């Protein structure tokens, strides 16, 4: 039996890209006699809007999906802290006070997630009485784990290369958002028994870091399924920050959710929407 999931963040309304991702995960579980989970990733500080979680459930039901809901991230904070403490005590995390502007100015390379952190705070004394992020020392971590690999159902076996993302943040400077996506999602998938991590192709590179964290924290290693993304007329992925039309607006306007889901499954997309590679 496989276990897969859809894990939206309530910092904006869901759009067609989310619908497509949820349907892919739901259908993979259904086709293989497995379980499809819903997990609300609600630790995005002030941007999280608790009322949106109920909207998400209404949207999924409107699309004809069935799921089992697991604990939201806001109920998992002690576990994130314990994992971070373990890595910190093992000398694998270091504090960083650099701003985004400082990182952008000092970065020598651009990685999958933007400017790659150049290690400015690594090895120097940092006053942790002030707000500081905690970064993973990727080189030291790899020295301890040795070579790693992971498997994507669509792309095959991958040799883990977390260094391409640099020393990523695992504990954020913002006290309202204690764990980064990398740490929280990795721990959550292990806690929920996820065996197939289904998510968009835009998160493919992040998996290199997640595989490293699994090795460091002795977590089970799932298989991944990174599906193509829905793109707008300019070839950009649909995104909340671009005000892509919401599922809730479509639902309230009387559109048939079952028909929409069938169209997405069949590759029939609204005008101006296409499926990427």
- Beta bridge partners, 93, equal 136
Residue from 122, 173, 237, 240 carrying the catalytic annotation: 240
| Catalytic residue flag (residue 240) | yes
Residue 198 token pair: 């289904």
Query: Rounded to whole angstroms, how far apart are CA atoms 80 and 170?
Result: 9
Residue 91 token pair: 């000398």
Query: Catalytic amino acids?
Result: 240
């Amino acid at each position: 039996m496989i276990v897969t999931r859809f894990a939206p963040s309530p910092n904006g309304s869901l759009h067609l890209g989310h619908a497509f991702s949820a349907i892919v995960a739901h259908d993979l579980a259904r086709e293989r006699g497995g379980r499809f989970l819903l997990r609300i990733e609600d630790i995005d500080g002030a941007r999280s809007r608790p009322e949106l979680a109920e909207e998400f459930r209404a949207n999924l039901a409107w699309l004809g999906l069935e799921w089992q809901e697991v604990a939201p991230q806001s109920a998992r904070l002690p576990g994130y802290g314990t994992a971070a403490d373990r890595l910190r005590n093992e000398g694998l995390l270091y504090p960083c006070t650099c701003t985004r502007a400082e990182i952008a100015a000092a970065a020598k390379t651009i990685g999958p997630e933007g400017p790659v952190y150049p290690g400015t705070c690594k090895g120097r004394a940092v006053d942790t009485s002030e707000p500081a992020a905690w970064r993973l020392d990727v080189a030291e971590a790899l020295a301890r784990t040795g070579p790693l690999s992971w498997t994507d159902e669509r792309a095959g076996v991958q040799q883990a290369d977390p260094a391409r993302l640099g020393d990523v943040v695992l504990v954020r400077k913002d006290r309202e958002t204690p764990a980064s996506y990398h740490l929280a999602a990795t721990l959550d998938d292990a806690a929920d028994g996820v065996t197939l991590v289904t998510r968009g192709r835009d998160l493919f590179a992040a998996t290199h870091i997640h595989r490293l964290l699994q090795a460091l924290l002795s977590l089970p290693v799932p298989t991944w399924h990174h599906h193509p993304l829905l793109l707008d007329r300019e070839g950009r992925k649909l995104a909340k920050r671009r005000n892509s039309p919401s599922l809730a607006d479509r639902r309230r306007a009387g559109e048939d959710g079952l028909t929409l889901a069938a169209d997405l499954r069949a590759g029939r997309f609204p005008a101006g929407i296409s499926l990427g590679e």
